[in-house]
Protein backbone atom coordinates (compact mmCIF):
# COMPACT_ATOMS: atom_id res chain seq x y z
CA UNK A 1 0.00 0.00 0.00
CA UNK A 2 1.32 3.41 -0.88
CA UNK A 3 1.10 6.17 1.68
CA UNK A 4 0.97 8.84 -1.00
CA UNK A 5 -2.31 10.45 -1.95
CA UNK A 6 -3.67 9.68 -5.42
CA UNK A 7 -3.27 13.35 -6.32
CA UNK A 8 0.36 13.38 -5.18
CA UNK A 9 1.03 10.25 -7.21
CA UNK A 10 -0.52 11.73 -10.34
CA UNK A 11 1.58 14.89 -10.03
CA UNK A 12 4.66 12.71 -9.50
CA UNK A 13 6.63 15.46 -7.80
CA UNK A 14 7.77 13.62 -4.66
CA UNK A 15 8.87 15.13 -1.36
CA UNK A 16 10.92 17.97 -2.88
CA UNK A 17 7.85 19.28 -4.79
CA UNK A 18 9.69 19.43 -8.09
CA UNK A 19 10.12 15.89 -9.38
CA UNK A 20 13.18 14.94 -11.36
CA UNK A 21 13.68 18.26 -13.09
CA UNK A 22 16.50 19.41 -10.79
CA UNK A 23 18.29 16.10 -11.18
CA UNK A 24 18.14 16.24 -14.98
CA UNK A 25 19.20 19.88 -15.10
CA UNK A 26 22.25 19.08 -12.97
CA UNK A 27 23.25 16.13 -15.21
CA UNK A 28 22.68 17.97 -18.50
CA UNK A 29 24.64 21.00 -17.33
CA UNK A 30 27.42 18.65 -16.16
CA UNK A 31 27.46 17.01 -19.58
CA UNK A 32 27.72 20.38 -21.34
CA UNK A 33 30.49 21.45 -18.96
CA UNK A 34 32.77 18.55 -19.93
CA UNK A 35 33.77 19.96 -23.36
CA UNK A 36 33.43 23.59 -22.22
CA UNK A 37 35.79 23.31 -19.23
CA UNK A 38 38.31 21.24 -21.20
CA UNK A 39 38.30 23.86 -23.95
CA UNK A 40 38.69 26.65 -21.38
CA UNK A 41 41.63 25.04 -19.58
CA UNK A 42 43.41 24.33 -22.88
CA UNK A 43 42.86 27.98 -23.85
CA UNK A 44 44.19 29.26 -20.52
CA UNK A 45 47.27 27.06 -20.84
CA UNK A 46 47.97 28.36 -24.33
CA UNK A 47 47.45 31.94 -23.08
CA UNK A 48 49.96 31.54 -20.22
CA UNK A 49 52.00 34.72 -19.92
CA UNK A 50 50.26 36.33 -22.93
CA UNK A 51 50.08 40.14 -23.01
CA UNK A 52 46.90 42.21 -22.80
CA UNK A 53 46.44 42.70 -26.55
CA UNK A 54 46.67 38.96 -27.20
CA UNK A 55 44.15 38.07 -24.50
CA UNK A 56 41.74 40.77 -25.63
CA UNK A 57 41.99 39.71 -29.26
CA UNK A 58 41.33 36.13 -28.21
CA UNK A 59 38.26 37.09 -26.17
CA UNK A 60 36.96 39.38 -28.91
CA UNK A 61 36.73 36.71 -31.58
CA UNK A 62 33.09 35.65 -32.10
CA UNK A 63 33.63 31.93 -31.58
CA UNK A 64 35.60 32.41 -28.37
CA UNK A 65 33.12 34.98 -27.05
CA UNK A 66 30.24 32.61 -27.81
CA UNK A 67 31.92 29.68 -26.07
CA UNK A 68 32.80 31.86 -23.08
CA UNK A 69 29.19 32.99 -22.73
CA UNK A 70 28.00 29.37 -22.94
CA UNK A 71 30.59 28.43 -20.31
CA UNK A 72 29.60 31.26 -17.94
CA UNK A 73 25.87 30.60 -18.18
CA UNK A 74 26.28 26.82 -17.79
CA UNK A 75 28.75 27.09 -14.91
CA UNK A 76 26.54 29.39 -12.86
CA UNK A 77 23.44 27.35 -13.62
CA UNK A 78 25.21 24.14 -12.57
CA UNK A 79 26.81 25.77 -9.51
CA UNK A 80 23.50 27.24 -8.31
CA UNK A 81 21.77 23.85 -8.68
CA UNK A 82 24.68 22.18 -6.88
CA UNK A 83 24.83 24.63 -3.99
CA UNK A 84 21.06 24.28 -3.62
CA UNK A 85 21.51 20.59 -2.82
CA UNK A 86 24.31 21.34 -0.37
CA UNK A 87 22.16 23.93 1.42
CA UNK A 88 19.13 21.64 1.51
CA UNK A 89 21.32 18.93 3.04
CA UNK A 90 22.80 21.03 5.84
CA UNK A 91 20.42 23.90 6.61
CA UNK A 92 17.33 22.67 8.38
CA UNK A 93 15.74 25.90 9.57
CA UNK A 94 13.14 26.80 6.95
CA UNK A 95 13.68 30.58 7.04
CA UNK A 96 17.49 30.36 6.94
CA UNK A 97 17.27 27.79 4.17
CA UNK A 98 15.05 29.96 1.99
CA UNK A 99 17.28 32.99 2.61
CA UNK A 100 20.41 31.01 1.71
CA UNK A 101 18.80 29.59 -1.45
CA UNK A 102 17.71 33.05 -2.56
CA UNK A 103 21.17 34.49 -1.83
CA UNK A 104 22.81 31.76 -3.94
CA UNK A 105 20.42 32.31 -6.85
CA UNK A 106 20.88 36.08 -6.71
CA UNK A 107 24.68 35.89 -6.48
CA UNK A 108 24.81 33.41 -9.37
CA UNK A 109 22.61 35.65 -11.51
CA UNK A 110 24.66 38.80 -10.78
CA UNK A 111 28.00 37.06 -11.39
CA UNK A 112 26.82 35.37 -14.58
CA UNK A 113 25.48 38.67 -15.90
CA UNK A 114 28.75 40.46 -15.07
CA UNK A 115 30.74 37.82 -16.91
CA UNK A 116 28.47 37.84 -19.96
CA UNK A 117 28.48 41.65 -20.13
CA UNK A 118 32.28 41.71 -19.88
CA UNK A 119 32.57 39.30 -22.82
CA UNK A 120 30.00 41.24 -24.88
CA UNK A 121 31.83 44.48 -24.09
CA UNK A 122 35.04 43.04 -25.48
CA UNK A 123 33.25 41.51 -28.47
CA UNK A 124 31.47 44.72 -29.50
CA UNK A 125 33.79 47.28 -27.91
CA UNK A 126 36.37 49.24 -29.87
Binding residues for ligand HEM (CB under 6 A): 26, 30, 33-34, 37, 75, 78-79, 82-83, 85-86
The CA-to-CA distance between both ends of the chain, in Å, stands at 68
Question: Which CA distances in Å does 123 have to 22, 60, 69, 118, 120?
Answer: 33, 4, 11, 9, 5
Segment 97 to 126, residues that bind another protein, using CB under 8 A: 111, 114-115, 117-119, 121-122, 125
Segment 12 to 31, residues that bind another protein, using CB under 8 A: 27, 30-31
Instruction: State which of residues 32, 67, 73, 83 lies at the interface with another protein (CB under 8 A).
Output: 83
Segment 49 to 68, residues that bind another protein, using CB under 8 A: 49, 52, 55-56, 59, 68
73/26 Cα distance (integer angstroms): 13
54/74 Cα distance (integer angstroms): 26
41/95 Cα distance (integer angstroms): 39
Residues in contact with another protein by CB under 8 A are: 27, 30-31, 33-34, 37-38, 41, 44-49, 52, 55-56, 59, 68, 72, 75-76, 79, 82-83, 86, 111, 114-115, 117-119, 121-122, 125
Amino acid sequence: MSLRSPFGRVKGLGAAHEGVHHWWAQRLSALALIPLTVWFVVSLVSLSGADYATVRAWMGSPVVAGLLILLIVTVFYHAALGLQVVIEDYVHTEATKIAALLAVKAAAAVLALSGVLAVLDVLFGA
